[in-house]
């Protein structure tokens, strides 16, 4: 049965798709809106790959020494802001750059492929457009691994069952406990704190918001078939609470309410997406499979302060005011950028590390 | 009501010569409005007047329409609704036809409502209103199961057609399978015929895992002592061979072991086409072992054929040399022995081989036929070794010998032809590309098996692309992708999926190559539309590949149970995929220990019917993996069931729709 992408695009949406051709060393991009396909462009893959490799190295450097000092390794291709600038020039097709400058388009639906998932598309596209961040895609950016998963998420997002939240908490971490408590207070519907995997299974198909504040990890990914893609990620419960893995969702043992929102918060859980950051894709797919329509997560580990500000604010605005998730994420990201305590944390040349990791996958 | 010959003659005479009033009088006498029996005959008669008397037919219809479309609840009138609907359609058009069926369905009691619902489903499928049709057919199946089931087979067939129009190839096949199983259970077809129809349908629908499982079942049963009667053996062999397009040889001494050899042999060839080389080699190994146990001349021929085809699949010179050396003990190869002596296996004189093979089988029996085929296969293997060693000219010459001398063996011919086309396309010269196109196109006309067609279409598309003919290349590769998806949709073994997904790259990559650059050969918006489709399909291919490599994930593609029904899974399927559940439930009889059915000997509706006998049937050979795939939305995440921009960027599988329609006819 074939379905179409077009009916799922709003009048102010533009979508961009990236497709990697390793053997041709090129990126094929396609851009379109709800009326028509605007254009395709072939971009050289090598410079994008180089820049993203450097990007990952710098993120790892910062993550490893966060709070200790600045990166020791001299960046050969420039610092993070330079990389954002360069990626804007070589990974953003002309049609998307033009769309970003066009105020008609308020939301971007990004369909990256492979390593492009690790690119902070929202920041990069702003640089490509050469406009202030406040004027580009003012309703936010939504990501999906493929057009099919976007359509899937849109179909799921129509659920109308009673809302209920489960908050996964890593025990013994005061900062996480505080974050979870803040979220619970912000929610206008019942919630429970989950400390064991089996507790989660008992809530099958009831959970409309799964908020994860725990540790995660991934295996070193290798090649699966002819594509670099790993799935071996896990979210830990401490104190013998077990762990969550992809097959818990694929096997149907853990099922969410259709259309559920999953938020993977806390700096440590960012490790889920560490390493080759497009690992996130495997996790997103598994959560979609379990019924989620939206997954809000981070591409790399990030400071508590930023995570709490953005994740908790987004959840609050979405559930209290009915703001669309993409829009809520964007406004909370902007307020984090202008928040003095958070700005104080940002070292020179590192602002993309603080404001670039957030990704909303799904229906938006 | 059956019209008497006298009355028919009278009506015919009036139709030819009488005026309208005379004709109307006769018709109203036969079908009075207060007792309108034989409404099917009335419908047939009115349809006949459209060709015989166009001047009066509409007036006559208008007069008789109230009688024709009246509501009658007796079984006979309900059973004739199809013919009555046909007349309404012809005289009043599709809207009136639909209204007629809807009214009948509304006025009939629940037990009989399924039949007009089925007709309505067929009507809506023809109109392309697939979702509505599917809902009605779903209801019709439930009604048919609740009643005496007299129209259940028709409903199943309509559901198969409807699902195919909806693009649900695998699900459509499940209904086709249910149709044959139910036909068998009701004694409408014999056991061998059931196998023929199941294998044939599976081949057409590209259900390769199922086909292989069924053939391996046959092999396992054949190896046991519980052999079917010799006559059934012969039928089954004929079924297997005809499914492969081979004229069945006369089998004089057929037994279970021989059946096992053939079944393993053909399972291996299917596995090889799929890209599961290791499993294909294992199956060829089992076929060779069984053939040895036959201890007959035919067994020897089959042994060599299995061994040789294993070398074809994995062309290693040392194995081939050792194998060909053994040919010396095999009498039909004596003439060829000298040709192999003292030189590399592939560096032989093709003229001499041509001379050896030109004679054909020495005598007409099955053993001679297979001995000759083994020799032809040996030449094909020489060509394969030559190709593997980079001696492409010699490979081409040897392949040509095979095609000239052994093309009657369709499968081997297909394998060799594919390699020859690949070599011609690979050479890139204008003459070779032209030749590849010509021989490939000729072969396509005869080739029905989806995997073989996919191979051919993909290679031909590459050839056309190399010739600088992108439009022709795109048309071919789109057909190839449709076939590739058809086969993929039928696979349920993760290893099969991984193998076939890998093969798909060759056609998808070419499609992306062709579409990634603008050109005056294609409208730009059409190009972008198709490019999005194939790039998304390519992404989905990789995602599906990654998921299927994780075999520990049991749920992403389907729930499978071997040789049994699991109540929990079935209940889950009922909720998540009701159409799949219905199709599987209809076949559930094959998971019984055995089937005992009552043969009534004649029409059960006859009031004096009495059971003639009870028949017990072993259902073991029919048991295969039970499939209850994902709901459609999950297919979007875990399969290549991807999305297009607007309307489908790929052509619908019209080839299969046409095939099913022709089977209907």
Find, among A29, A36, A143, A45, the residue nearest to A96 by Cα. A29
Residues A332 and A317 sit within 8 Å (Cβ to Cβ): yes
Using DSSP, state whether B645 is helix, strand or coil: coil
Nearest-Cα residue of chain B relative to residue A42:
B516
A40 vs B528: CB contact, 8 Å cut-off? Answer: yes
Q: How confident is the model at residue A89, as a pLDDT?
A: 95
Q: How confident is the model at residue B592, as a pLDDT?
A: 66
B645 vs A6: CB contact, 8 Å cut-off? Answer: yes
Residues making up chain A, counted from first to last: 364
Q: Which of residues 526-555 of B touch A (CB under 8 A)?
A: 527-529, 531-532, 535-536, 538-540, 542-543, 545-547, 549-550, 552-555
Q: How confident is the model at residue A261, as a pLDDT?
A: 93
Q: With an 8 Å Cβ cutoff, is B510 touching chain A? A: no
Give Cβ neighbours of residue A135 (< 8 Å, ≥ 6 apart).
A103
A2 vs B167: CB contact, 8 Å cut-off? Answer: yes
Q: What is the 3-state secondary structure (H, E, C) of B287-319?
A: HHHHHHHHCCHHHHHHHHHHHHHHHHHCCCHHH
Distance CA B469, CA B625 (A): 44
pLDDT band at A220 (very low <50, low <70, confident <90, very high): very low
Q: Is the dihedral of CA B597, B599, B602, B604 positive or negative?
A: negative
Q: Is the pLDDT of residue A13 over 90?
A: yes
Q: Is the pLDDT of residue A241 over 50?
A: yes
| Residue showing tokens 């090598």 | A46
Contacts of A227 in chain B (CB under 8 A): 542, 545-546
Find, among A111, A194, A192, the residue nearest to A362 by Cα. A111
The nearest CA of chain B is from the CA of A328 a distance in Å of: 26
User: Angle at CA B335, nearest 5°, toward B329 and B339?
Assistant: 100
Q: With an 8 Å Cβ cutoff, is B525 touching chain A? A: yes
Contacts of B554 in chain A (CB under 8 A): 247, 250-251
Give the Å distances, CA to CA, from A37 to A32, A89, A213, B642, B645.
4, 22, 40, 18, 8
B550 vs A3: CB contact, 8 Å cut-off? Answer: no
Q: With an 8 Å Cβ cutoff, is A149 touching chain B? A: yes
Find, among B318, B359, B311, B312, the residue nearest to B335 by Cα. B359
Q: With an 8 Å Cβ cutoff, is B168 touching chain A? A: yes
Least confident segment among A28-32, A79-83, A224-228, B474-478? A224-228
Give Cβ neighbours of residue A202 (< 8 Å, ≥ 6 apart).
none
Residues B160 and B175 sit within 8 Å (Cβ to Cβ): yes
Find, among B437, B447, B367, B362, the residue nearest to B407 by Cα. B447
Q: Which of A128 and B630 is assigned the larger pLDDT? A: A128
User: Angle at CA B628, nearest 5°, toward B627 and B634?
Assistant: 130
Distance CA B645, CA B647 (A): 7
Distance CA B557, CA B87 (A): 45
Q: With an 8 Å Cβ cutoff, is B631 touching chain A? A: no
Q: What is the 3-state secondary structure (H, E, C) of B209-228?
A: HHHHHHHHHHHHHHHCCCCC
Nearest-Cα residue of chain A relative to residue B166:
A1
Which of A18, A40, A245, A251 would best serve as a mutation to test chain B binding (most B beta carbons within 10 A)? A40
Question: Which tokens belong to B522?
Answer: 């294609």
Which parts of chain B sit beneath pLDDT 50? 1, 225-233, 237, 248-254, 331-332, 334-340, 342, 552-561, 563, 604, 665
- Of the partner residues B168, B536, B647, the one whose CB lies closest to the CB of residue A146: B536
Q: How confident is the model at residue B557, as a pLDDT?
A: 40
Give the Å distances, CA to CA, from B470 to A41, B454, B461, B462, B517.
19, 18, 9, 9, 11
Give the Å distances, CA to CA, from B639 to A289, B90, B340.
12, 43, 49
* Cβ atoms < 10 Å from Cβ of B178: 25
For chain A, give percent helix, strand, coil, nearest 5. Answer: 45, 25, 35
Distance CA B161, CA B547 (A): 31
The nearest CA of chain B is from the CA of A5 a distance in Å of: 5
Nearest-Cα residue of chain A relative to residue B545:
A225
Give Cβ neighbours of residue A271 (< 8 Å, ≥ 6 apart).
A215, A216, A217, A218, A301
Q: How confident is the model at residue B328, as a pLDDT?
A: 58
Q: With an 8 Å Cβ cutoff, is A259 touching chain B? A: no
Q: How confident is the model at residue B148, as a pLDDT?
A: 63
Contacts of B505 in chain A (CB under 8 A): 226
> Of the segments A198-207, A261-270, B221-230, which one has the largest average pLDDT value?
A198-207
pLDDT band at A343 (very low <50, low <70, confident <90, very high): confident
Distance CA B271, CA B213 (A): 11
Q: With an 8 Å Cβ cutoff, is A152 touching chain B? A: yes
Please, which residues bridge with residue B560 across strands? Answer: B627
pLDDT, tens digit (0-9, with 9 covering 90-100), for B69-89: 888 888 788 888 999 999 999
The nearest CA of chain B is from the CA of A12 a distance in Å of: 17
- CA A248 to the chain's CA centroid: 21
Contacts of B525 in chain A (CB under 8 A): 36-37
- Of the partner residues A4, A148, A252, the one whose CB lies closest to the CB of residue B540: A148
Q: With an 8 Å Cβ cutoff, is A146 touching chain B? A: yes
- Of the partner residues B516, B531, B642, the one whose CB lies closest to the CB of residue A148: B642
Which of A116, A145, A225, A286 would best serve as a mutation to test chain B binding (most B beta carbons within 10 A)? A225
Contacts of B644 in chain A (CB under 8 A): 2-5
Q: With an 8 Å Cβ cutoff, is A17 touching chain B? A: yes
Question: Which tokens belong to B228?
Answer: 């079917």
Q: With an 8 Å Cβ cutoff, is A6 touching chain B? A: yes
Distance CA A45, CA A51 (A): 10
Find, among A350, A362, A292, the residue nearest to A123 by Cα. A350
- pTM listed for this prediction: 0.82
Give the Å distances, CA to CA, from B582 to A220, B165, B576, B634.
44, 18, 12, 19
Distance CA B564, CA B590 (A): 9
Contacts of B517 in chain A (CB under 8 A): 42
Find, among B27, B643, B123, the residue nearest to A9 by Cα. B643
Q: With an 8 Å Cβ cutoff, is A35 touching chain B? A: no
The nearest CA of chain B is from the CA of A133 a distance in Å of: 29
Nearest-Cα residue of chain B relative to residue A43:
B516
Using DSSP, state whether B597 is helix, strand or coil: strand
A113 vs B539: CB contact, 8 Å cut-off? Answer: yes
Q: What is the ipTM of this complex?
A: 0.89
């Amino acid at each position: 049965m074939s379905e179409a992408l077009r009916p799922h695009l709003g009048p102010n949406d533009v979508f961009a798709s990236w497709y990697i051709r390793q053997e041709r060393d090129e990126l094929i991009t396609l851009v379109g809106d709800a009326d028509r396909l605007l254009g395709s462009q072939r971009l050289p893959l090598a410079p994008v790959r180089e820049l993203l490799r450097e990007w990952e190295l710098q993120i790892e450097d910062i993550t490893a020494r966060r709070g200790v000092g600045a990166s020791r390794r001299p960046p050969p291709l420039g610092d993070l802001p330079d990389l954002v600038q360069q990626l804007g020039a070589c990974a953003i097709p002309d049609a998307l750059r033009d769309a970003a400058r066009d105020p008609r388009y308020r939301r971007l639906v990004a369909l990256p492929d492979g390593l492009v998932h690790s690119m902070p598309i929202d920041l990069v596209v702003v640089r490509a457009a050469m406009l202030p961040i406040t004027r580009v895609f003012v309703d936010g950016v939504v990501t999906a691994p493929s057009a099919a998963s976007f359509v899937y998420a849109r179909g799921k997002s129509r659920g109308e069952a009673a809302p209920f939240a489960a908050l996964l908490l890593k025990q013994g971490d005061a900062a996480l406990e505080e974050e979870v408590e803040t979220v619970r207070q912000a929610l206008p519907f019942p919630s429970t704190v989950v400390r064991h995997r089996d507790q989660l299974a008992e809530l099958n198909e009831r959970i409309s918001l799964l908020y994860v504040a725990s540790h995660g990890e991934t295996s070193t990914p290798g090649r699966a078939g002819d594509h670099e893609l790993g799935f071996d990620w896990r979210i830990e419960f401490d104190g013998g609470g077990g762990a969550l893995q992809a097959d818990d969702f694929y096997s149907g043992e853990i099922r969410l309410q259709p259309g559920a929102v999953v938020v993977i918060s806390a700096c440590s859980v960012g490790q889920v997406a560490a390493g080759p950051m497009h690992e996130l894709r495997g996790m997103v797919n598994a959560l979609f499979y379990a019924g989620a329509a939206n997954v809000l997560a981070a591409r790399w580990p990030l400071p508590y302060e930023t995570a709490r500000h953005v994740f908790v604010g987004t959840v609050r605005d979405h559930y209290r005011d009915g703001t669309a998730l993409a829009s809520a994420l964007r406004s909370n990201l902007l307020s984090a950028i202008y928040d003095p305590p958070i700005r104080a944390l940002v070292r020179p040349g590192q602002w993309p590390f603080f404001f670039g990791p957030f990704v909303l996958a799904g229906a938006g | 009501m059956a019209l008497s010959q006298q009355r028919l003659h009278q009506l015919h005479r009036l139709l030819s010569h009488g005026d309208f009033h005379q004709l109307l009088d006769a018709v109203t006498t036969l079908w009075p409005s207060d007792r309108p029996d034989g409404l099917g005959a009335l419908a047939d008669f009115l349809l006949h007047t459209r060709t015989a008397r166009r001047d009066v037919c509409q007036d006559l219809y208008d007069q008789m329409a109230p009688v024709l479309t009246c509501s009658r609840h007796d079984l006979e009138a309900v059973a004739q609704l199809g013919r009555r609907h046909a007349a309404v359609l012809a005289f009043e058009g599709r809207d009136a036809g639909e209204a007629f069926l809807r009214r009948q369905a509304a006025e009939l009691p629940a037990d009989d409502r399924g039949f007009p619902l089925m007709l309505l489903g067929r009507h809506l499928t023809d109109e392309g209103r697939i979702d509505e049709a599917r809902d009605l057919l779903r209801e019709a199946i439930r009604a048919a199961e609740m009643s005496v089931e007299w129209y259940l087979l028709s409903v199943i067939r309509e559901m198969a057609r409807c699902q195919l129009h909806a693009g649900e190839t695998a699900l459509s096949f499940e209904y086709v399978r249910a149709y044959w199983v139910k036909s068998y259970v009701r004694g409408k077809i014999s056991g061998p015929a059931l196998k023929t129809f199941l294998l044939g349908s599976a081949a057409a629908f590209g259900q390769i895992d199922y086909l292989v499982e069924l053939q391996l079942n046959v092999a396992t049963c054949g190896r046991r002592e519980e052999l079917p009667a010799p006559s059934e053996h012969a039928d089954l062999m004929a079924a297997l061979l005809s499914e492969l397009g081979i004229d069945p040889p006369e089998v004089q001494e057929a037994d279970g072991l021989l059946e096992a050899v053939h079944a393993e042999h053909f399972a291996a060839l299917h596995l090889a086409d799929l890209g599961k080389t290791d499993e294909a080699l294992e199956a060829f190994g089992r076929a060779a072992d069984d053939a040895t146990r036959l201890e007959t001349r035919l067994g020897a021929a089959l042994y060599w054929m299995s061994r040789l085809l294993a070398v074809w699949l994995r062309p290693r010179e040392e194995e081939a040399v050792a194998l060909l050396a053994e040919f010396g003990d095999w009498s039909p190869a004596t003439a060829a022995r000298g040709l192999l002596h003292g030189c590399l296996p592939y560096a032989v004189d093709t003229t001499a081989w041509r001379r050896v093979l030109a004679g054909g089988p020495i005598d007409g029996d099955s053993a001679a036929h297979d001995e000759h085929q083994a020799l032809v296969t040996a030449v094909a293997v020489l060509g394969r070794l030559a190709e593997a060693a980079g001696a492409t000219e010699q490979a081409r010459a040897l392949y040509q010998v095979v095609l000239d001398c052994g093309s009657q063996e369709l499968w081997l011919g297909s394998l060799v032809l594919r390699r020859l086309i690949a070599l011609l396309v690979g050479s890139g010269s204008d003459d070779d590309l032209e030749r590849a196109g010509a021989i490939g196109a000729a072969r396509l006309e005869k080739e029905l098996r989806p995997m073989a067609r996919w191979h051919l279409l993909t290679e031909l598309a590459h050839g056309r692309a190399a010739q600088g003919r992108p439009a022709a290349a795109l048309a071919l590769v789109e057909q190839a992708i449709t076939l590739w998806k058809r086969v993929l949709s039928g696979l349920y073994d993760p290893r099969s999926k991984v193998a076939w997904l890998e093969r798909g790259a060759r056609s998808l990559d070419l499609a992306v190559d062709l579409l990634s650059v603008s050109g005056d050969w294609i409208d730009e918006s059409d190009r972008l539309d198709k490019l999005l489709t194939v790039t998304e399909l390519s992404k989905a291919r990789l995602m599906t590949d990654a998921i299927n490599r994780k075999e520990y994930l049991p749920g992403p593609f389907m729930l499978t149970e071997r040789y049994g029904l699991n109540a929990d899974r079935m209940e889950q399927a009922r909720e998540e995929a009701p159409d799949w559940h219905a199709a599987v439930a209809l076949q559930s009889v094959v998971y019984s220990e055995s089937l005992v059915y009552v043969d009534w000997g004649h029409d059960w509706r006859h009031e004096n019917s009495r059971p003639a006998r009870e028949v017990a049937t072993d259902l073991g050979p029919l048991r295969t993996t039970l499939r209850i795939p994902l709901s459609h939305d999950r297919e979007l995440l875990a399969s290549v069931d991807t999305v297009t921009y607007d309307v489908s960027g790929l052509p619908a599988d019209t080839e299969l729709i046409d095939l099913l329609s022709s089977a209907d006819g």
